[in-house]
Structure 1
């Protein structure tokens, strides 16, 4: 009972101090990815795996509590050893104030099917071995209200260290890209994603110019709420096999608001 109370309090405290960067992002209406302002998305995580004695970026993630990181289920492999980097801007540089945290456990949604990403449930939570100290470079993301749906053409930003273009290079500096939300009625049309997209997903982009790409997986879709706080409405899930910036094939995200109760339940029980 005390554990559940603590978990609820943890999320309640997180909600009070979330979504407000010390270094506000430069959110000009730039089409196409661009370098983010350093540390302006302070909940962005880099999920890295170990190979030999080196660590390699594989996916993004979002810090939602001082010891919990939200990512995509397809980012997780039971055969790999992971770490989470927080407070990072340039992955190739030593940066003061950054933290490398070890996972205590990783919980993948029980309905996730690795052979069918289009089935949905592409969500996982990483519990860190220790609580991370928040700072001007490490802050918590806000989560949206349960079941809330973004309206069409809401301007959001996808952030990550994914490839700059299809089969392109991986950047050292954190990137951001402006994406406009495509409503489910449009995105599920046959000439768009059709039945591949589900109601527990969010579509954004599809203009043929800006999108998420390989390496952005698991990272946040950041949308600003009416009170000015940034909420993470999506987790980068999949895009078109035809290429990253394909017309009428918007980036598809796991819709965070559809998994509000699952997130709370996992944190309460672990």
Structure 2
């Protein structure tokens, strides 16, 4: 019994240490207050980012298992540790799903372009020091190759923060060719790449962040993360005007 107790304590400490590795829990909650966990029937499926009090942006491929808005919920707010799991204690309902009109998804490792969608909350969030939105890039603003950036999001119940360096699309294309014929000519214009993750993160929708702005959302790897091929993100500069159109449409109804 004593051995079992020590083992469970060891696992608990590992979970907590991974979660607060870049600062105290309070610091993380404030720094990444724009992050949400998206759930389908109560189970985590991907990450999302707050861009408006009532609108969450994520990848469209996250929402292909169901097109019924009420099947989804999000978790936002302070991080809670209990029962050896890290989770959020505030659940918000979804009443609308809006897919980017150019979104194409053809299977797990097949063509995936303009991979973006917006979830509409049943009620606007109340912004606090631990729930808030992230800024979008300015018009025609993009992130440049060799820029240092972060990818951060929820993978199940663990907060992942990884440092990456943005690649040019040509470098990404050449790297992808090493892993196969690259039949879809990845990356396409609506995608942006970074160097390989230090640790595979299959939590799609996690944001690519630099200078406190979101420049991309993790969509897929050409041949899977384990292959070492570069992670590909939906390029925010290509969907920025669409996001603002949705924001203006929502605000006009209020």
TM-score, normalising length: structure 1: 0.71
Partner of residue 46, structure 1: 37
Partner of residue 233, structure 2: 253
Counterpart mapping for 1:29-178 below 5 A: 35-37=21-23, 38-39=28-29, 40-50=31-41, 55-76=42-63, 77-78=66-67, 81-90=71-80, 92-93=85-86, 99-115=90-106, 118-162=111-155, 170=156, 172-178=157-163
Partner of residue 14, structure 2: none
Aligned pairs, how many?
Answer: 215
Match of 1:42, SS state, is coil
1:180 aligns with 2:165: yes
Match of 1:149, SS state, is coil
Q: How far is the alpha carbon of 1:34 from its aligned partner?
A: 8.2
RMSD of the alignment, in Å?
A: 2.6
Partner of residue 191, structure 1: 178
Structure with larger RCO (C-alpha < 8 A, sep 6+): 1
Match of 1:196, SS state, is coil
Where do 5+ consecutive residues of structure 2 fail to align?
A: 1-18
| Greater radius of gyration (CA) | 2
> Stretches of 4+ moved more than 6 A in 1?
none
1:235 aligns with 2:228: no
Structure 1 contact 89–173 (Cα < 8 Å) conserved = no
Query: Hey, which of these two has a bigger chunk of helix by percent?
Result: 2
Partner of residue 12, structure 2: none
Provide the C-alpha distance between the structure 1 equivalents of 2:166 and 2:20, rounded to a whole number of angstroms: 19
Where do 5+ consecutive residues of structure 1 fail to align?
A: 1-32, 163-169, 225-229
Match of 2:245, SS state, is helix
TM-score, normalising length: structure 2: 0.76
Q: How far is the alpha carbon of 1:113 from its aligned partner?
A: 2.3
Query: Hey, which of these two has a bigger chunk of strand by percent?
Result: 2
1:148–1:101 Cα change, 3 Å: same
